[in-house]
Structure 1
Amino acid sequence: MPRDEIEVPKELREFMLEEAEETFLGQKNGANKQYRYGNLHIREYNEKFLVHTDKIDPRKDPVGHLVHDAPEILIGLVCAIFSGSQVIKKLDKNSKKKSLASGLLLSIICGYLGYSTTKKLKNIWSK
């Protein structure tokens, strides 16, 4: 759990803002549902809610949200696109299926490595 996240046990009281909207935007982290209310991101689990504030509301500025709140996703995407395109350019142009398969595999691996490394660094820097 990030240091800036607040845990609200459900047995303490049912917590939910009437104006909060259920959303698919954001990492669910195993939550049953997630909601947004302005910059507030609320994850609902069986026994609790986890609540944190994002710097940028992804519904209003998705790119700004990726840059400021979720750089690991942005870096993972950039790594995936760059590595995959480089493999496709360099491999034999006569074997397009092999080039595409290799490019896709490498883009998945590099995208995941970029994502996970950035996420670890973000957690270290936030402590």
Structure 2
Amino acid sequence: MDNDQLWPLLGGLLAGGMLAAVGAYAWLSGRIRQETQRHQATEQARQLGAQQLTQARRQIEQLQRENHELRLAVRPAPRPAPRAEAPVDPAEAARLYAEAKLNPAAADVPKAFKDTELLDRSGR
């Protein structure tokens, strides 16, 4: 192989290498651009989530404060002590008990269900 054939061969090899490098650069730059965009979108979503979380925590704290204030405002008043009942005369209590036993109150309670009726099974 002489120099006349070697120079075009080296020139073609060099041109092919440069063409391959340009193609690889174009392909890789597109991939890098896609990955960069994906990373930026993910980062924005993360920041938005962090902002929403912070806002939700502030709202929870505010609601808890308001709830506490309302509980204090609606706190039931202390109940008065129950009145002591007047002592009952034992003779009067015995008389009332005896009257209740001798004269029971009339039971005007309606029946909840109808009385059971027997059906004729003979087929007549």
**Greater share of residues in strand:** 1
Q: TM-score range by the shorter chain?
A: under 0.3
- Normalized against structure 2, the TM-score is what? 0.26
Higher normalized helix content (fraction of residues): 2
TM-score relative to the length of structure 1: 0.25
Q: Answer 1 or 2: higher relative contact order, Cα 8 Å, separation at least 6.
A: 1
Look at both structures and tell me which one has the larger radius of gyration over its CA atoms.
Answer: 2
